[in-house]
Amino acid sequence: MKLLLLLCLMDCFLAIGQASSGTFNVLNYGATADGIGDDSKAFMAAWKAACSFTGGVKLLIPKGTYLVGPVKFDGPCRNVSSITVSMEGYLKASTNLSKYVSGDDWIQFGWVHHLTLTGGGTFDGQGAVSWPFNECSKREKCKVLPSSIKFVYTEHTVVKSIKSLNSKFFHIVLLGCKNFWGSNIVAQAPSDSPNTDGFHIERSSGVSIYSSVIATGDDCISIGQTNERVVISGITCGPGHGISVGSLGRYENEGDVKGLLIKDCTLSGTTNGLRIKTWQNSPGKSSVSNLTFQNIILKSVANPIIIDQAYCPYADCSSKVPSWVSIRDIIFSDIRGTSTTPVAVTLKCSSGVPCENVNLHNVDLRYVGGSPTIAECLNVKATYSGTQLPLPCN
Ligand SMILES: *[C@@H]1O[C@H](CO)[C@@H](O)[C@H](O)[C@H]1NC(C)=O
Ligand SMILES: *[C@@H]1O[C@H](CO)[C@@H](O)[C@H](O)[C@H]1NC(C)=O
Ligand SMILES: *[C@@H]1O[C@H](CO)[C@@H](O)[C@H](O)[C@H]1NC(C)=O
């Protein structure tokens, strides 16, 4: 009797249909999936229903092409134990910039816990139309274009098997996230597209990005202020500007960056390889510490290893005031490959706060032009072990 009742319950449960099993399909909320009609409202309605459900839920974006403007998938989703966004479709970002009011990004996930974003789908930022309006690559004060996928104060987030194409600005942004795992992610934009960083990570902790391919016009990965416990591994990067810590020291009250491990990556044809950059004349003090770069292959990279504490990309950088970001406990270990310039190692530290405890172990970087590579150093006492090409600075 009990068993029969249980079977009936399961049948009845299934009969009620998708929603009661916790799956919310955007097509049931009015998405047209024709790539022409704006599906933003349907997406947000489906999210709202999912977020108000109890237990484990799934937001399904089935195969199809969807045109969407800025969408906010925000929590908290109080009675939801976990939420999976199964993104199997092809999303095209609206190119009408007036839809992105006051700093809106394109697809935002905010204040949710136990979120998984997966499904093999593509987020196409349709950036080419907006890149000519990018002012930030030219001057300091600028209107920032929308980033494609942004995670804001999420906790325990898994992102795997998705693709991001031609973002208007950054591809994927983490802001204030705790415990984030990203893998099998492809981020792609042309090498001359402005500020199309693959990942930008800020104010986050416990972040792991691995087994991903990034080809873009700016940093493959940029690690901004106030981050700790970040592991980057198995990244294929290029073209792009490489893997960068910074820029730091641009704003007041920036937090420290500590506990970074960047390992088992291959960078090809990038302008920089492994970079730490801090602004000259920083308004506050902060630090970068406990940073390890390990087992990295650099192929035809212009500045393979570079610490630059006089960073200022604009024309009017007249300040002689040094950076106040201190850098210490840095390891470059097993770094090998080729440089397209003779200066393969640059350690240009701040005269205000010289770098401390910078270690190079087994560095083998050869100039494609044939002559030996050289190292340039300023305000740093580095230690060396194992192979050293270029030869250490005196
Ligand atoms: C969560 O579940 C409780 C108990 O079932 C209910 O009273 C409450 O309204 C739900 N909260 C939300 C935000 O759905
Ligand atoms: C762009 O979006 C704005 C704000 O939603 C709207 O008023 C305007 O008509 C749109 N322009 C085009 C060309 O669709
Ligand atoms: C340095 O960072 C690594 C990687 O995040 C971490 O595992 C380790 O505990 C840190 N070491 C110290 C002394 O903080």
| 99-158 pLDDT tens trace | 998 789 999 999 999 999 999 999 999 999 999 999 887 777 788 999 999 999 999 999
The answer to whether residues 136 and 102 touch, using CB atoms and an 8 Å cutoff, is no
Q: How confident is the model at residue 3 (pLDDT cuts 50, 70, 90)?
A: very low
Q: Which residue has the least CA distance to atom 8 on ligand 1?
A: 79
* Dist. CA 79 → ligand 1 center (Å): 6
The pLDDT assigned to 141 comes to: 78
Q: Structure tokens of 83?
A: 């939420």
Ligand nearest to the CA of 51: 1
pLDDT bin (cut points 50, 70, 90) of residue 19 is very low
| CA 215/CA 379 separation, integer angstroms | 33
Q: How far is the CA of 65 from the centre of ligand 3 (A)?
A: 43
- CB 81 near ligand 1, within 6 Å: no
pLDDT classification of 321: cutoffs 50, 70, 90: confident
Q: 334, 344, 335: which is closest to 371 by C-alpha?
A: 344
Closest to 183 (Cα-Cα) out of 204, 218, 213: 213
Q: Would the CB of 141 count as within 6 Å of ligand 1?
A: no
Query: Strands 71-74, 257-268: parallel, antiparallel or unpaired by DSSP?
Result: unpaired
pLDDT at 102: 78
Average pLDDT, the chain: 93
pLDDT of res. 245: 97
Residue-level pLDDT at 315: 62
Least confident span in 4-18, 25-39, 70-84, 139-153? 4-18
Instruction: Look up the pTM and report it.
Output: 0.93
Lowest-pLDDT range of 18-32, 47-61, 114-128, 250-264: 18-32
Indicate whether residue 56 lines ligand 3 (CB < 6 A): no
Atom number, ligand 3, closest to the C-alpha of residue 259: 2
With the most atoms of ligand 3 within 8 angstroms of its CB, the residue from 208, 229, 359 to mutate is 229
% of residues, the chain, pLDDT over 90: 86
User: Quick one: pLDDT at residue 344?
Assistant: 98
Q: What is the dihedral of CA 254, 290, 201, 113, to 10 degrees?
A: -100
Q: How far apart are the C-alpha atoms of 226 and 375, rounded to whole Å?
A: 30
- Ligand nearest the Cα of residue 70 is 2
CA angle in degrees (0–180, nearest 5) for 373-191-122: 130
* pLDDT tens by residue, 257-268: 999 999 999 999
Burial degree of 325 (CB within 10 A; 0-12, 13-18, 19+): buried
Helix (H) / strand (E) element for 121: namely: none
Nearest-atom number in ligand 1 for the CA of 78 is 13
Q: 95 C-alpha vs ligand 2 centroid, how far in Å?
A: 10
Closest protein CA for atom 3 of ligand 3 = 259
Q: Is 192 in the active site?
A: no
Who contacts 132 (Cβ-Cβ below 8 Å, separation ≥6)? none
Choose among 356, 342, 267, 268: nearest CA to 307: 356
Please compute the mean of the pLDDT values over residues 316-327 and round it to a whole number. 83
Contact 296, 338 (CB under 8 A): no
241 part of the active site: yes
